[in-house]
Amino acid sequence: MRILVQTTCLANGELSALIAADAVAAQPGAIESEAAARLVAAGPLASSVELDLSGVSEWDSASISWVFRVQRAIQAAGRSCRIGGLPNDAAGLLELAGSVPERKGARRSEVSVPLLEGIGQQAVQLWSDLLEWCDFVGELLVSLSRALRGKARIPVRDIWVTMEECGPSALPIVTLISVLVGVILGFIGAQQLRQFGAEIYVANLVGIAMCREMGGIMAGIIMAGRTGAAFAAQLGTMQVNEEIDALKTFGFSPMEYLVVPRVMALIVMMPLLAVYADVLGMLGGALISSFALDISLLRYFEQLTSAVFLKDVALGVAKSCVFGILIAVSGCLYGMRCGRSASAVGIAVTSAVVAGIVAIVVSDAVFAVMCEVLKI
Amino acid sequence: MGADPEAHIVVDGLTMKYGDFLIQRDLSFSIRRGDIFIIMGGSGCGKSTLLKHLIGLNRPFAGRVLYGRQSFWDASLGEREALLRGMGILYQKGALWTSMTLAENVSMPIRQYTKRSEAEIRDIAEYKLALVGLAGFEEYYPSEISGGMQKRAGLARAMALDPEVLFFDEPSAGLDPVSSKLLDDLILELNESLGATIVVVTHELPSIFAIGKNSVFLDADTKTMIAFGPPKELLESSTDPKVIEFLTRGVGRNGAA
Ligand SMILES: Nc1ncnc2c1ncn2[C@@H]1O[C@H](COP(=O)(O)OP(=O)(O)O)[C@@H](O)[C@H]1O
Ligand SMILES: [Mg+2]
């Protein structure tokens, strides 16, 4: 929209503005806002402002909203603003827009927060998130112990269904990822070990790495993206549909009815998936050894049995149990505290996956330190 | 308050907030046993929020909700569960459990609270679905039926335990006029045949006058109740311009005549 503003100051301190605009020739907002700014700046100086719009040839929403904005700004400065020369229909629309006064406090503006305050707010937020986690885990433990003592009614069918969803259905992707991780580890390790003529130790490298670290972590990350996200989405949607409210009012504890079965299913399935990933990763290592490194399968497995001990596998399994709990908790927590809209479900899923992966990596670091101290 | 021997639910000085955000304050009224009680008011004035306080989903910021002489939030956990058991709730969006068929939805509460055999539970569920006109839809999932049918299935579930008091949140929202009329008839019938107290949140004028025996009007601006009484009497004798405007769709008492 091109807008021409011709202002005249009258002797009695009034400002008269003749405005010519061409709504059809839509122009970038620069001219428009410049003209508006000039008018608004001049407005408070004058005792009253008259906008003469007879020069405007055609109307659309953009031109009316422009006049509306200018009028509001001048009125906000405490000056009266008369408008003349409007065609009837446009005047009617303008009046309609101004007829209900703006609700006080309804308008929200972006408040820019100083850097330090922002950091502080984030820290406080992080702390309250952490407290919420603790709250949730505490409640979960109470419910779990009630369930194990047979005091809570747990929907057994849901446990089976969830186990099926997060176990067998995840096998293809876990297979693919762990074989490839085994191959990659073997390949990179062999390149380095060859310099010392110690290629055979590829078996040690792949075996130890898979059993102690990679099997659990890879399975965990896949589960966080697959199952953690699914948990958050399921519970979030139930929250949006008021299904969780309905559960509560029928006397079902959402914790016992929704969260406990999911956590139980994942506690059972995660170690199995981790062991499966360990085995396939070592097979991947065997593949690369026999095809690319001329180590016979027999030699590889002999070396493997002398390198990997039960404690390594046990450590991996123990870790994967913890990962399973963390994934299930983050999925369920973000699902349960989901807002009431469709976009809130999206946010809940994203937060659940991110929090799940962060929790896995952080707890893995804690495990690493503990193993170092305990010499495992 | 509380002196009325017929009072089923008494709201006493209730103030409701979400965080720091005041929704309604100083609500005091009572709901008689066996009445159809309407909670009305403009959109966003806090009707659903009041309902959530009545059914114990939200804790009052101040004031009490009494069932008979028992204050809901001062009661022990067991007493609260017993109170909850006597309530049936139809949510605004139906809130059926989407992972279960209609029959399973209705049988869940029965299985939770009674020791009936599976066959008996199944029979009751079928009967309740038939009551709301959904015979033959037992094995359907909520996503496979229309919005009006979901509402009715939600009603069947709300009635599963033969509650003493039924709560409806905007039962006719999103229904066509005929379905909405049928639902009103159903509510009237349930009220007569079961003798249950029924609390309905709605802003549909035809429903309000067709079924309401008593009502309370919540105002969004002053954030409190501004009228209490039978809707027809309010229409005839209220002096509050906001109430008259609402009950006559903004036409005014003379315009409506
Ligand atoms: N969970 C919530 N958290 C914060 N504010 C809410 C929540 N639910 C509703 N509100 C706000 O409370 C007010 C009343 O909502 P509600 O009781 O749903 O109104 P209605 O009368 O339309 O049913 C609205 O302004 C709404 O934005
Ligand atoms: Mg509502």
| pLDDT, tens only, B146-160 | 888 888 899 899 988
Q: What is the pLDDT of residue A268?
A: 93
- The nearest CA of chain A is from the CA of B144 a distance in Å of 16
Q: Which atom of ligand 1 is nearest to the CA of B19?
A: 4
Return the higher-pLDDT residue of A59 and B81: B81
Domain ranges of chain B: 1-86+195-250
Q: Is the pLDDT of residue B3 over 60?
A: no
pLDDT band for position A103 (50/70/90)?
low
Closest atom of ligand 1 to CA, residue B42: 21
CA A225 to each of CA A171, A335, A355, B20: distance values in angstroms, whole numbers, following the listed order: 14, 14, 11, 36
**What pLDDT does residue B194 have?**
82
What ipTM was assigned to the predicted interfaces of this complex? 0.80
pLDDT of residue A105: 61
Q: Which residue's CA is the closest to the ligand 1 atom numbered 27?
A: B44
| Whole-number pLDDT of residue A266 | 94
- Residue-level pLDDT at A13: 66
- Across the range B11-17, mean pLDDT stands at 92
pTM above 0.80, yes or no: no
DSSP state letters, A82-149: EEES--HHHHHHHHHHHHSPPPTTT---PPPPPHHHHHHHHHHHHHHHHHHHHHHHHHHHHHHHHHHT
Residues A316, A321, A327, A330: what is their CA dihedral angle, to the nearest 10 degrees? Answer: -130
CA–CA dist A15, A51 (Å, integer): 9
Q: How much is the pLDDT for A33?
A: 61
Confidence tier at B7 by pLDDT (50, 70, 90): confident
Taken in order of first residue, the domains within chain A and their CATH numbers are 5-99 (3.30.750.24), 127-374 (no CATH)
More confident residue, A43 or B92: B92
How confident is residue A355, by pLDDT bands cut at 50, 70 and 90?
very high
* Confidence at residue A22, expressed as pLDDT on a 0 to 100 scale: 58
Q: What is the pLDDT confidence band of residue A158, given thresholds at 50, 70 and 90?
A: confident
> Cα distance from B95 to chain A (closest Cα, Å)?
5
| DSSP line for A234-283 | HHHHHHHTTHHHHHHHTT--HIIIIIHHHHHHHHHHHHHHHHHHHHHHHH
Q: Which residue has the tokens 């309740």?
A: B128
Q: Please determine, for residue A282, whether its predicted confidence score (pLDDT) is greater than 70.
A: yes
Confidence tier at B82 by pLDDT (50, 70, 90): confident
Do A140 and A329 form a contact (C-beta atoms < 8 A)? yes
Torsion sign over Cα B188, B194, B199, B200? negative
**Can you give the pLDDT at residue B68?**
85
Q: Tell me: pLDDT of A25 over 50.
A: no
Distance CA B35, CA B212 (A): 8
Tell me what pLDDT residue A356 has.
95
How far, CA to CA in Å, does A312 sit from each of A210, A371, A375?
9, 11, 12
What does R_g of chain B's alpha carbons equal in angstroms?
19
pLDDT of residue B140: 93
Residue A49 has a pLDDT of 75
What contacts B137, CB < 8 A, 6 or more positions away?
Answer: B102, B129, B145, B149, B153
Tell me the mean pLDDT in the region A11-20: 69
What pLDDT is attached to residue B215? 93
Whose tokens are 């015979």? That residue is: B135
pLDDT over 50 (residue A28): no
Listed residue (B150, B64, B100, B71) closest to A247, CA to CA? B100
Q: Are the Cβ atoms of B91 and A246 closer than 8 angstroms?
A: yes
Question: What does pLDDT average to over chain A?
Answer: 85
pLDDT in tens, B215-256: 999 998 888 999 999 998 988 888 888 888 888 887 877 764
Say if residues A24 and A63 touch (Cβ distance below 8 Å). Answer: no
What span, in angstroms and rounded, lies between the C-alpha atoms of A136 and A139?
5
Tokens encoding B82:
């017993």
Is the pLDDT at A267 greater than 90? The verdict is yes
Is residue B49 lining ligand 1, measured as CB closer than 6 Å? yes
Cβ separation A251–B81 shorter than 8 A: yes
Closest listed residue to residue B148, CA positions, set B163, B133, B161: B133
Say what the pLDDT of residue A272 is: 95
Q: Quick check: A30 pLDDT over 50?
A: no
Average pLDDT over residues A339-361: 93
pLDDT tens for A304-348 read 999 999 999 999 999 999 999 999 999 999 999 998 888 999 999
Using CA atoms, how far apart are residues B167 and B154, in angstroms rounded to an integer? 11
pLDDT at position A162: 92
Provide the pLDDT for residue A93: 81
B147: three-class secondary structure by DSSP: helix
What does CATH list as the number for B1-86+195-250? 3.40.50.300
**Lookup: tokens for B174:** 């999103």
User: What mean pLDDT, rounded, does chain B reach?
Assistant: 88
Contact call for A153 and B112, based on CB within 8 A: yes
DSSP per position, A4-35: EEEEEE-TTSEEEEEEEEESSS---HHHHHHH
> Is residue B58 in contact with ligand 1, taking CB distance under 6 Å?
no
B33-53: pLDDT as tens digits: 999 999 999 888 999 999 999
Considering only CB atoms, B84 lies closest to which of A237, A245, A251, namely: A251
